[in-house]
Amino acid sequence: MMGPMPQQLPTSQSPGLHAGVDIGGTKVAVCLADPANGSGPPVLLTRMAEPTAKAGAPDALAQQVLRLLDAACTQQGITRSDLAGVGVASCGPFVRHAGMVEVVNPNICGGLAGAPRGLGNDWTRVPLQAPLAQALRADRVHVANDAVAALQAERLWGALRGEDDCAYVTWSTGIGVGLCVDGCVLRGKNGNAGHAGHSYVGDPDAGSDVALCGCGNQGDVESLVAGSALPRRLGREAPALMAAADAGDAAALAEVQALCVLMGRLLYNLVATLDLRRISLGGAVFLHHQALLLPLLRAQLARYFPALTAGVELVPAGLGGQVGDYAALALLQQPG
């Protein structure tokens, strides 16, 4: 596994630094930040990232987080015991064991769908909160689904400020959603509210191995449009597909339009179910190609029942590519 990739940011000797941990199916990023920035987002001081651990013992992911935290703290001349709090925004779904969050993510746990997914492990769940709480003190560790945490960050500092009826949707390695209705962030019994990526919107591939999601579903949204699904379904990674569409490749553009039909159905279902006013869109697939994707998604949403969709805004994440870092840090502003 490649080592941590540090990003040099301003240094600070401020006490009580916050740590943010962003766990995705592709990478784990850890940042340290000074929370003292008035009404603005915390000031990022140190950031490190590396590919998500997917081999070894099931606690390899938690051990990776602790190692990255130690490396980030060393850069700031502190130890992890000096941290005022650690926010952990992780891809889900979650299950709870003895009250502690364990991760059951299709892009990390190879035992869910088995060998066809090729993840190289037989994990079905990954302990996360318990080993971190033991190493860092339970009262300092706040864990939430990454899309829910990103929703909170976008409401605090990004494109959803002032919105009580809104959602954050990430189109990345997987598909995740954070939801807020009447000013209340939805979480659910295990913190899994918003896992619309594992809902169904219909497609001819449904039921075939080409549309096998890492969770074991065949033909759910994530299996059809997520970044992890595109090589299997369409034979190309997202950057190559989007670049070809941008360059005028008619076949590639048709494939991208078909992806946006499916994502558009998902967005409409969210609006129709929850009566949303604004949806903030993030994730690597969307943010790297938003000039192509955003008009297509807006056009898809506009196709549906105007009484529900008129005036609904689709906007890029206001925090851009840093939404994952700020998502984790937002948990320390609004813990629990």
Query: What are the tokens at 79?
Result: 């130890």
Give Cα separations from 56 to 2, 50, 215 (angstroms).
Answer: 15, 16, 20
Question: pLDDT tens digits for 75-97?
Answer: 999 999 999 999 999 999 999 99
Residue 203, pLDDT > 80, answer no
**The pLDDT of residue 257:** 98
Architecture field, domain 5-146+323-330: 2-Layer Sandwich (3.30)
When pLDDT is cut at 50, 70 and 90, the band that residue 5 belongs to is: very low
% of the chain residues with pLDDT over 90? 85
Q: Tell me which DSSP letter residue 140 carries.
A: G
Mean residue pLDDT across the chain? 92
**What is the rounded distance in angstroms from the CA atom of residue 124 to the CA atom of residue 19?**
28
Residue 20, pLDDT > 80, answer yes
When pLDDT is cut at 50, 70 and 90, the band that residue 14 belongs to is: very low
Say whether the peptide bond before residue 106 is cis (omega within 30 degrees of 0): no
For every residue of 37-102, DSSP letters joined together read STTSPPEEEEEEEEEPP-SSSTTHHHHHHHHHHHHHHHHTT--GGG-SEEEEEE-S-EEEETTEEE
When pLDDT is cut at 50, 70 and 90, the band that residue 167 belongs to is: very high
**The pLDDT of residue 204:** 64
**The pLDDT of residue 141:** 96
Question: pLDDT tens digits for 44-75?
Answer: 999 999 999 999 999 999 999 999 999 999 99
CB atoms within 10 A of CB 111: 16
Answer whether 169's CB lies under 8 Å from 281's CB.
yes
Q: Chain centroid to CA 245: how far?
A: 25
Phi/psi of residue 164, nearest 5 degrees:
-95, -20
Q: Could you check whether 5-146+323-330 and 159-317 share the same CATH topology?
A: yes
Per-domain residue ranges for the chain? 5-146+323-330, 159-317
Q: What is the mean pLDDT of residues 250-265?
A: 97
Q: Tell me which DSSP letter residue 283 carries.
A: S
Q: What is the mean pLDDT of residues 293-310?
A: 97
Q: 79: Cβ–Cβ under 8 A, 6 or more apart, which residues?
A: 70, 73
The pTM of the full predicted model, rounded to 2 decimals, is 0.91
**The pLDDT of residue 332:** 95
Q: What is the mean pLDDT of residues 131-158?
A: 96
**The pLDDT of residue 210:** 78
Q: Is 3.30.70.270 the CATH number for 159-317?
A: no
When pLDDT is cut at 50, 70 and 90, the band that residue 234 belongs to is: very high
Question: pLDDT tens digits for 96-130?
Answer: 999 999 999 999 999 998 776 778 899 999 999 99
**The pLDDT of residue 11:** 45
Per-residue buried b or exposed e for 244-278, using 16+ beta carbons within 10 Å of the residue's own CB: bbeeeeeebbebbeebbbbbbbbbbbbbeebebeb
When pLDDT is cut at 50, 70 and 90, the band that residue 38 belongs to is: confident
Question: Which of 13-22, 36-45, 263-272, 280-289 comes out lowest in average pLDDT?
Answer: 13-22
Residue 3, pLDDT > 70, answer no
Q: 262: Cβ–Cβ under 8 A, 6 or more apart, which residues?
A: 201, 203, 221, 224, 225
**What is the rounded distance in angstroms from the CA atom of residue 268 to the CA atom of residue 194?**
14
For every residue of 197-242, DSSP letters joined together read GGS----TTTTSGGGB-TTS-BS-HHHHHSTTTHHHHHSS-HHHHH
When pLDDT is cut at 50, 70 and 90, the band that residue 1 belongs to is: very low
**The pLDDT of residue 208:** 67
When pLDDT is cut at 50, 70 and 90, the band that residue 153 belongs to is: very high
**The pLDDT of residue 304:** 96
Give Cα separations from 58 to 110, 125, 127 (angstroms).
Answer: 11, 8, 7
For residues 207 and 296, the model is more confident at: 296
